[in-house]
């Protein structure tokens, strides 16, 4: 199986590659459109800031390529947010694959920004969560979030519910870091590779 990981000079790519290798995959880190189109699965990890990430994608034409992919696609953290229409972070237009507008968390006395740490997932739907329950926890680090909508396949809360995972057709996204979420994250990656 040919696994491609999108190379847009973003953070956190190496830990995703290691997580895939632990599952027996041999992922290729690439910004080449033809390699991405011919892959069996594509992962789009992300750490950092929305406008910089979109600028990097536009510089190599990936903002046009990624939305056309037909195979299973997984966006992780910022990689999930970039599937949306727009982000409040630097007033950024994104890839427009899902009809959400990314918002910034508002801190309060009990809830700091960024939202950082382990949270359980609620209302699990879809193939990524096969074998998991609402007692399972994953690791989040983010200041921005996608609101809950028809595309939401899992929820978390900080303090109000937000989309912890989304799906539209072959495009899947998770707000948490699978590669930092222990055995639960490994199971989600394995489920993705099995799609």
Q: Which domains does the chain have, with CATH numbers?
A: 3-193 (3.40.50.880)
The pLDDT of 21-35, averaged and rounded, is 97
Q: Is 179 a catalytic residue?
A: yes
> Among residues of the chain, what percentage have pLDDT more than 90?
93
- Say which of 89, 115, 142, 179 is annotated catalytic: 179
- Say which of 49, 77, 89, 158 is annotated catalytic: 77
44 and 37 in contact (C-beta within 8 Å)? no
Q: Is 21 a catalytic residue?
A: no
Q: What pLDDT is attached to residue 8?
A: 86
58 and 27 in contact (C-beta within 8 Å)? no
What's this model's pTM, rounded to 2 decimal places? 0.96
Q: Is 101 a catalytic residue?
A: no
Task: Report how far residue 182's alpha carbon sits from residue 194's, in angstroms, rounded to the nearest whole number.
Answer: 19
Give tens-digit pLDDT for 34-89. Answer: 999 999 999 999 888 999 999 999 999 999 999 999 999 999 999 999 999 999 99
**Cα dist. 156→34, 75, 117 in Å?**
36, 17, 12
Helix/strand/coil for 102: strand
pLDDT at 11 over 80: no
């Amino acid at each position: 199986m040919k696994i491609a990981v999108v190379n847009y000079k973003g953070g956190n790519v190496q830990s995703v590659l290691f997580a895939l290798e632990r599952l027996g995959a041999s992922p290729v880190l690439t910004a080449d459109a033809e390699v991405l189109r011919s892959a069996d699965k594509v992962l789009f990890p992300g750490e950092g800031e929305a406008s910089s990430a979109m600028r990097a994608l536009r510089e190599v034409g990936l903002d046009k390529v990624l939305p056309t992919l037909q195979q299973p696609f997984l966006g992780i953290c910022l990689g999930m947010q970039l599937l949306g229409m727009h982000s409040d972070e630097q007033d950024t237009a994104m890839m427009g694959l899902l009809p959400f507008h990314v918002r910034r968390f508002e801190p309060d006395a009990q809830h700091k920004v960024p939202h950082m740490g382990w949270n359980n997932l609620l209302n699990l739907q879809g193939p990524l969560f096969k074998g998991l329950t609402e007692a399972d926890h994953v690791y989040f680090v983010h200041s921005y979030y996608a609101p809950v909508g028809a595309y939401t396949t899992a929820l978390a809360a900080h303090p109000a519910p937000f989309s912890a995972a989304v799906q539209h057709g072959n495009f899947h996204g998770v707000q948490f870091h699978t590669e930092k979420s222990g055995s639960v994250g490994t199971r989600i990656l394995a489920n993705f590779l099995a799609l």
